[in-house]
Structure 1
Amino acid sequence: MRVSNRTRTLAAVAGGIAASGVAVAAIGLVSGVALSVYFARKIVTPPGRADSALRVLAVGESTIVLSSAAESRAPGRFSLWFADESGLARIGPVVSQGAQWVARELIEIEKGVPKSGDNARTSGWFYLTPAGLGLHFEEIAIHTELGPAPAWLIPAANPSATWAIHIHGRGVQRPETVRALGEFYDAGVTSIAVSYRNDREAPSSPDGRYGLGSTEYRDVDAAISFALASGAERVILMGWSMGGATALQTLVRSKNRAKILGLVLDSPVIAWGPTMDLHGDLNHIPSRVQRGAQAVLSSEQSQFLVGTAQPLDIAQMNFVDRADELDRPILLMHSEDDGYVPVGPSRELAAARPDIVTYEEFDTAGHTRLWNYDGERWLLAIRNWLATVLSDDVAAAE
């Protein structure tokens, strides 16, 4: 019987995993590793368009009625994509609800006309460009090692020595970052909202896989170099979700790290292991398979099995364990009910480094929707942190 190279590789990885104590005998060693490979591949493969699982039931002059789900009942204000994402509206708080329906305030319709029967989904994005906040911006290109990556430049009202780089999360684009831009503008900080490899805006990497921050940081570093060449003397990094992991990787690996003044992190991936465990649990994947997926990503066979150009050292992506390496002030904001990135590592990092971490924990806000749930508190946290960090920087320079 002929044995394929892939089967040999799966067997080799299975042997390595078994040797490290991750037994998958209950479902068959090789088949267990195959499931680990599938899970690992899903983690590093850019996703397609999000599911539109809601339905528009009725539309009034100032109210829209949606099918009832946790998504449509969530408190706060959101964007609503409808009709296969051909239309976009902005919705406010829940007005009333029944067992099968939820009526919310209809703030405005940006494009399209919602009608009964349309599929729909909510989004934490509230503005599509900085113009939504009344901010002037320019379309620019950051020259990365893979080619030009689109970005928005939002200049401060007066020439600024401090710039900020805003880094969106996994599977989304620059509009995620807009919610914070006004606070940086008001603080006199020039901002760049970047794209990065494999986000459907910037050039794709040759492997077409996420590095979970370990490769994306190079594009952020290119944006820092652009800022420094354009007059910046120091930079602040703001990262959302995987963008938070990317900001942390940039802090410890950037050739420009001496110019990094501090970090603002919203719902960040502080440690990838617990995040992978959470998604494994949500998808009813056995813990031994979850651990196997981490072993696959870290193995020398990862290029063949999951398509990454290099192995990903998941253990090295745990910034709770690496807390002593962090040496800049950090504003860290997370919600206790985050169902996508667990809050535990954020709490642990805040406890480990109270000297540099300012921690704000929210409740019932979900993932990267802190502004949507309690915008006043979220913006105030950024405002106060910026005031402290910028004043400390001025004092240190005198």
Structure 2
Amino acid sequence: MADDAAVRGKTAAGALGAGLGAGLAGGAVAIGRYYATVLLDPTRVVAYPERVLGVGDGTVTLATSRLVRQPGVWGLRWTAPPADSAGVPVVGSAGVPMVGSASVPMVGSASEGLAVVGDILRDDRHGVRRRLLSGPVPPVGPAVVDAGPYDPDPGARGLEFTEVTVDTPLGPAPAWEIPAERDVWAIAVHGRGGRRREALRILPTLHALGLPTLVISYRNDDEAPPSPDGAFHLGDTEWEDLEAAVGYARGRGARRIVLVGWSMGAAISGAFLDRSPAADLVDAVVWDAPLLDWRATLRRQARNRLLPPALVPIAEVSARRRIGIDFDHFDLVRHPPARRPPTLVIHSVPDTAVPIGTARTLAARSRDLDWPVRLLEVDGVEHTGSWNADPERYDRAVTAFLTDTL
């Protein structure tokens, strides 16, 4: 009887252990799938994590944070009070635009204010005081430090442009066309969840080089067609929209192409360089904080979210089942694209979104890969903030590279 009881106890303990193990495994799978869902979701989330504490004498004081302490030139955005058609503030409106939308008043909903801040003048227990370079005086309250200090279009940089339409495989997608005299065109591709205004920082440099520039949108952007399944495909299908943009440029007289991309814009243009017959037209590439290896990026993002590394393969499998992506094709060091034109990579060292290690590996192995790569490392700023840290240095690097290459 005692032996039978011991056996029953061991069986119950084993069953409990197996149940707990299955529960933990099931929980890990659920979290991994959720991680993949977040990765593929094109919904933009409004966030104003910083706070304006005070203004005065051409300065603004912000609550201390890591992002507020970044050096250089930045946009400072906030929600402006909504107003009716007579300009009277509307109370209780829930309409808040996504971060990064154009600073255009919207009747009956909130609009967004934008100022440009510069040097840090003081950093102490009272907050971070920065120089207010241009724009309206921000109100005390929530704000966000933004790498995009210009809005809403190339006119903000003093450039003539035309709003045009690129006929993509999914339908018409808006683009900005900035004319110039050469027959070598630049095509700018923003990152995941970004907007065309990401390119406004570099447009004067491209224009000074005589490059007509096409700043494109692609599937799942605000005004572009949605993908059939409503999900990001991480470059695996978005490259077709870039191919359509190259076709548009060719129809407008482009003889050769320069690709300029930020973050996932590099994954998109990398897929284009590997898969499109039109890739032979590309003479040079400029990548800012490029996403060169989705797996490395997912591992870093998991650490940022305090998730166990073991969840990353689960997220990969879930993403592959949902959108059919092969992550091997998005490791550009192990699987470089078929077309490998001279490439300038600019990457900030403390980037916590897309780690710089893959860019360093690509530059170190560029000779073996038969892929001419220059790497410019920038200190002190976050993801895609290299221009903001030192605009003159950034523009000089792009100018020197394209002058040498073209």
TM-score bucket (shorter structure): 0.7 to 0.9
Alpha-carbon separation, structure 1, partners of 2:45 and 2:135: 21
Match among 362, 374, 382 for residue 366 of structure 1: 382
Residue of structure 2 in register with 1:15 after alignment: none
Shift of 1:208: 1.2
One-letter amino acid of the counterpart of residue 99, structure 1? R
Match of 1:19 in 2: none
**Residues 324 and 251 from structure 1, CA distance in 2 versus in 1: closer, same or farther, beyond 3 angstroms?**
closer
- Shift of residue 114, structure 1, vs aligned partner: 2.2
Structure 2 gap segments, 5+ residues each: 1-19, 80-95, 97-110
1:212: how far off?
Answer: 0.8
Would you say the 8 A contact 2:279–2:339 is kept in 1?
no
- The residue that corresponds to 2:392 in the other structure is 376
| Matching residue of 2:67 | 71
* Structure 1: runs of 5+ lacking an equivalent: 1-23, 304-309, 391-398
Q: Say if 2:280 and 2:339, in contact at 8 Å, map to a contact too.
A: no
Quickly say closer, same or farther: Cα 1:324–1:51, change in 2 above 3 A: closer
> Greater share of helix residues, 1 or 2?
1
One-letter amino acid of the structure 1 residue matched with residue 118 of structure 2: G
* Alpha-carbon distance in structure 2 between the residues aligned to 1:238 and 1:148: 21
Task: Give the structure 2 partner of residue 214 of structure 1.
Answer: 236
Q: Which residue of 2 aligns with 1:277?
A: 299
Residue of structure 1 equivalent to 2:25: 29
Displacement of 1:365 after TM fit?
2.2
Deviation at 1:379, TM superposition (A): 0.7
Q: Could you tell me whether the CA contact under 8 Å between 1:323 and 1:349 is conserved in 2?
A: no
Deviating more after overlay: 249-258 vs 278-287: 249-258
Counterpart Cα distance in 1 of 2:343 and 2:308? 35
Inter-partner Cα distance in structure 1 for 2:198 and 2:331:
24
Match of 1:349 in 2: 362
- Superposed displacement of residue 203, structure 1: 1.2
Partner residue of 2:37 out of 32, 36, 41: 41
Show the counterpart of 2:76: 80
Post-superposition shift, 1:25? 4.8
* SS across alignment from 2:344: strand
What one-letter code is carried by the residue in structure 2 that aligns with 1:335? Answer: S
CA distance in 1, matches of 2:232, 2:302: 18
1:197-226 deviations in whole A, cap 9, x for unaligned? 112121111111111111111111110000
Map of 1:321 onto structure 2 = 334
- CA shift for structure 1 position 100: 4.3
Report if the CA contact (8 A) 1:297-1:314 is conserved. Answer: no
Matches within 5 A, 1:52-67: 52-67=48-63
Taking the aligned partners of 2:134 and 2:213, their CA distance within structure 1 comes to: 27
3-state SS of paired residue (2:390): helix
Q: How big is the shift at 1:363?
A: 1.3
Q: Distance in 1 between matches of 2:295 and 2:43?
A: 19
Query: Once the two structures are aligned, what percentage of the paired residues are identical?
Result: 35
Matched residue SS, 1:127: coil
Partner letter of residue 124 of structure 2? G
Alpha-carbon shift at residue 28 of structure 1 (Å): 2.4
Choose from 168, 178, 185 the match for 1:144. 168
1:1-398 mapped onto 2 (5 Å cutoff):
25=21, 28-83=24-79, 86-109=112-135, 114-116=138-140, 118-128=141-151, 129-156=153-180, 158=181, 160-298=182-320, 302-303=321-322, 310-323=323-336, 325-354=338-367, 356-390=372-406
Cα offsets for 1:259-318 (capped at 9, x unmatched): 1112110001000000000010111111111221112222xxx23xxxxxx311112210
Per-residue CA deviation, residues 349-371 of structure 1 (Å, 9 max, x unaligned), is 11111451011111112211111
CA distance in 1, matches of 2:284, 2:293: 19
C-alpha distance in structure 2 between counterparts of 1:69 and 1:26, whole Å = 41
Aligned equivalents of 1:77, 1:25: Cα separation in 2: 51
Secondary structure of the residue aligned to 1:244 is helix
CA separation of 1:352 and 1:50: change in aligned 2, threshold 3 A: farther
Distance in 1, Cα, partners of 2:279 & 2:195:
24
How far does the alpha carbon of each residue in 1:77-126 deviate from its partner, in whole angstroms, 9 at most, with x for none? 1111113662111111111122241111111125xx5222x210011012
2:35 and 2:318 map into 1 onto residues whose CA distance is 10
Q: CA RMSD in A?
A: 1.7
Count of aligned pairs:
353
Query: Whole-Å Cα distance in 1 between the matches of residues 43 and 130 of structure 2?
Result: 29
Could you state the TM-score of these two structures normalised by the residue count of structure 1? 0.85
The two structures have a TM-score, normalised by structure 2, of 0.84
Partners of 2:266 and 2:287 within 8 A in 1: yes
State the shift of 1:61 in Å. Answer: 3.6
Counterpart AA for 1:109? G
